[in-house]
Chains A and B, each alone.
Chain A
Amino acid sequence: EIVLMQSPGTLSLSPGERATLSCRASQSVSSDYLAWYQQKPGQAPRLLIYGASSRATGIPDRFSGSGSGTHFTLIISRLEPEDFAVYYCQQFGSSPPLWTFGQGTKVEIK
């Protein structure tokens, strides 16, 4: 089973700054299988990025995803107040089909 490791655990930044979140997989993952979610306290997760780099419907272009193989990155180019939240990466494993999440990165206001 592929394990996803996200870093850092917490990122302390100010509004307007750039956030770089990392997701590393224990084995190579197809880019098609990699997604990112945002979750705010008391809310359901929201899909941000699918296929490693495609923005979901309605997601602002300050969010971008990249990467391949075992290393994927989510970048928030300029943090807005509403972007302070926890971010999860997720991958799909095909045999048997199963989905796994990273442990999350919290982006907090510095």
Chain B
Amino acid sequence: QVQLVESGGGVVQPGRSLRLSCATSGFTFSNYDMHWVRQAPGKGLEWVAVIWHDGNKKYCADSVKGRFTISRDNSRNTLYLQMNSLRAEDTAVYFCARRSGVWWLRDHYYSMDVWGQGTTVTVSS
């Protein structure tokens, strides 16, 4: 079945870096745009970044611009989030999510239909 499994979370000091991974299976990864979404403790959902199916376009939220980089390896069916210059306010559960609809139907779908279980990032000294 379709599955997304995040890893790489942990406790990190402010200013340090961390790389999250999202291993996927059960679907043709290279056909889908992919997102990262985060959720601070006790808070709502915050979209972080998206990457197009072929990696050629990437967009991110202003809150992480210049610090976080989304990437993917279609040969490994894996999505990544490189997080640099981490701040306390980056503490959250990070979810990877699949954009609904394959890339050639991109203009018809703007939701996220499959989610991983999340990986927790804690930024603290």
Contacts and interface: CB of A to CB of B under 8 A. Distances in A.
Interface of A: 32-33, 35, 37, 39, 43-47, 50-51, 56-57, 88, 90-92, 96-104
Interface string B10-46: 0000000000000000000000000101000000111
A88 B44 contact: yes
Interface string B82-125: 00000000000001010010000000111111011110000000
A90 B118 CA distance: 19
Contacts, number: 65
Nearest to A50: B111
Interface of B: 35, 37, 44-47, 50, 59, 61, 95, 97, 100, 108-113, 115-118
Given A45-B37, A45-B112, A97-B50, 7 more contacts: A90-B45, A96-B59, A98-B59, A100-B47, A102-B44, A104-B44, A104-B45
A101 B46 contact: yes
Contact of B44 (A32, A35, A92, A103): A103
Of the candidates B61, B111, B113, B118, the one having the most CB atoms from chain A within 10 angstroms of its own CB is: B111
Nearest to A99: B47
Main secondary structure of the interface of A (DSSP, over half): strand
A99 B35 contact: yes
Given A44-B95, A104-B44, A97 B59 contact: yes
Contacts of A56: 100, 111, 113
Contacts of B45: 37, 39, 45, 88, 90, 101, 104
Given A100-B47, A101-B44, A101-B45, A47 B112 contact: yes
